[in-house]
Amino acid sequence: MEKERLSKDSFFSVGFDLILLGENLPYDLYINSSTRENRERFVRIFPMNGRLSTEDIATFKEKYHQLYVLEKQRQSYLSSLVKNQNFTDVQKTEVIKDSAIIYLNKIFDPGKEFTTSILEESIEGCKESVEHMIDVLGDYEINQVQDLIGDLSFHDFYTYDHSINVSMYCISLFKAMKPGAKKEELVLAGLGGLLHDLGKIKIPTTIINNPGKLSDEDFETIKQHPEFGGELLDEGDHCCDGVDFEVIRRVIMEHHENYNGTGYPNKIEAKDIHVLARVCSICDFFDAITTKRSYHEVLSTEDALAVMSKSVGRKIDPKIFEIFCENVNKLGLQGKIKEELPDDYDPCQPMNVLPLQAPQIKKQAEDIFAKEGKDEFGKIKGDNNLFGKDKKAG
């Protein structure tokens, strides 16, 4: 087979079992032929447009330790993977997730200088990852997304896994709200979820990764991350085909605004909060209390929905949450847990123990939903202009 030396280009590793067989390969395959540690020498062993057989892969496994693809061919690799019916959704999602983490790491890596060009490049990569995620999820309902997330591996940096999970939930929830949603709308829903914590790159990691109770001073620092994220997007004139940066900015800025106007940073309420920020808030909340981490036990789906239901009309949108519940749990709310989480609970922060507390005294449902109209409960009325520039249009 042809061997071609290459230098200066970056590569990513691919699994032997995740290579396209029997069709024209839309990427080149390489190996690292160097025997010296910390020194790489990549050579091409199989060219683009060639066809590989099962026997070829078996031979590669015997001869080589690892296969690689050029970074600039990553999207071609992902596209071929997503479309192939021979791979499971878990396999596909793992690869897409790893790619998304690479782009997120470019933004969050404290060892690298942050620039607007890095942000724009990373957002472009994140967008492509979201597009592939939409293709894999297809008509998944939220409970199926939850099962899929449960089968995926997780990493040391909570922000990466959490953001990717929130992105997947946002895609599925928005599709449940709007079954005929265009892919570009789903991309914005997923990208908003993936980037909602962008501003945390300006927060010390000692605070972000602290699983204990934060001091009042540290919590005030954490509360600045939505504005920090908005400021980062405001730096430079960003351009990424198919991305409405004003919508992404609003999701970043508003995902901690509470439905009753008690959130941060601007204490806006109800329909003044962009619909995709309200979607993100619910997905953010749900993933934080249901996804297993090393530092705290999680709630069952039923108990999670029961806890979240106590925040309806205060922290989260009642109508969107009703659709979320219907899509997650067809049997309805059956959780036995009586406690709730405080309105200032931050789903983005890892915690040793969930700060459950006795329920607060609150109004009857008729009063909570009065401003929107009891008869309209369960309808997403007034959210048709999802991507308008006017603050109150979304």
pLDDT digits (tens, 9 = 90+) for 163-200: 999 999 999 999 999 999 999 999 999 999 999 999 99
Instruction: Give the pLDDT score at 240.
Output: 82
Query: Is residue 170 in some structural domain?
Result: yes
Let me know whether 199 and 285 are in one domain: yes
25 φ/ψ angles, rounded to the nearest 5 degrees:
-75, 125
Let me know whether 98 and 159 are in one domain: yes
Cα 290 to Cα 296: distance, rounded to the nearest angstrom: 10
Instruction: Give the pLDDT score at 376.
Output: 39
Query: Is residue 59 in some structural domain?
Result: yes
Strand partners, 4: 44
Which of 50, 65, 87 is where one domain is finished? Answer: 87
Query: Is residue 383 in some structural domain?
Result: no
Look at residue 168 and give its three-state secondary structure: helix
Let me know whether 55 and 102 are in one domain: no
267 φ/ψ angles, rounded to the nearest 5 degrees:
55, 40
Let me know whether 34 and 94 are in one domain: no
Q: How many CB atoms lie within 10 A of CB 140?
A: 20
Cα 51 to Cα 20: distance, rounded to the nearest angstrom: 8
Instruction: Give the pLDDT score at 217.
Output: 92
Run means of pLDDT, 10 residues per run, the chain, 394 residues: 51 93 95 79 95 96 94 94 92 94 87 81 93 95 92 79 95 94 95 95 85 84 94 82 91 96 94 96 93 70 90 93 86 54 63 63 41 41 47 42
**205, HSE (Cβ side, Cα atoms, 13 Å):** 8
Query: Is residue 335 in some structural domain?
Result: yes
Let me know whether 76 and 97 are in one domain: no
Let me know whether 49 and 182 are in one domain: no
Query: Is residue 55 in some structural domain?
Result: yes
**4, HSE (Cβ side, Cα atoms, 13 Å):** 11
CATH number of the domain that residue 105 is part of: 1.10.3210.10
Q: Which two tokens stand for residue 32?
A: 């690292």
How far is residue 229 from each of residues 234, 251, 265, 290, measured CA to CA in Å? 9, 10, 12, 26
Contacts of residue 237, defined as CB under 8 A and 6 or more positions apart, other chains included, come to none
Q: Write out the residue range of the structural domain in which residue 224 sits.
A: 88-376
Let me know whether 219 and 358 are in one domain: yes
Let me know whether 161 and 19 are in one domain: no
Cα 346 to Cα 196: distance, rounded to the nearest angstrom: 13
Helix (H) or strand (E) run with residue 32 in it: strand 29-32
Decide: 279 and 170 in contact? Cβ < 8 Å: yes
Let me know whether 83 and 143 are in one domain: no
Strand partners, 13: 68
The total number of structural domains in the chain stands at 2
Look at residue 172 and give its three-state secondary structure: helix
| Block residue for tokens 């108990």 | 303
How far is residue 10 from each of residues 20, 79, 300, measured CA to CA in Å? 21, 19, 42
Query: Is residue 146 in some structural domain?
Result: yes
Cα 197 to Cα 280: distance, rounded to the nearest angstrom: 11
Query: Is residue 296 in some structural domain?
Result: yes
**Share in percent of the chain as helix, strand, coil (round to 5):** 50, 5, 45
**To the nearest 10°, the Cα dihedral for 341, 346, 347, 350?**
-100
Strand partners, 46: 29
Instruction: Give the pLDDT score at 207.
Output: 87
Cα 10 to Cα 25: distance, rounded to the nearest angstrom: 19
Let me know whether 298 and 310 are in one domain: yes
Which of 58, 87, 116 is where one domain is finished? Answer: 87
Decide: 186 and 134 in contact? Cβ < 8 Å: yes
Which of 38, 65, 87 is where one domain is finished? Answer: 87
Let me know whether 97 and 194 are in one domain: yes
Cα 293 to Cα 276: distance, rounded to the nearest angstrom: 26
Let me know whether 258 and 165 are in one domain: yes
Decide: 308 and 347 in contact? Cβ < 8 Å: no
Instruction: Give the pLDDT score at 295.
Output: 52
Instruction: Give the pLDDT score at 333.
Output: 45
Query: Is residue 387 in some structural domain?
Result: no
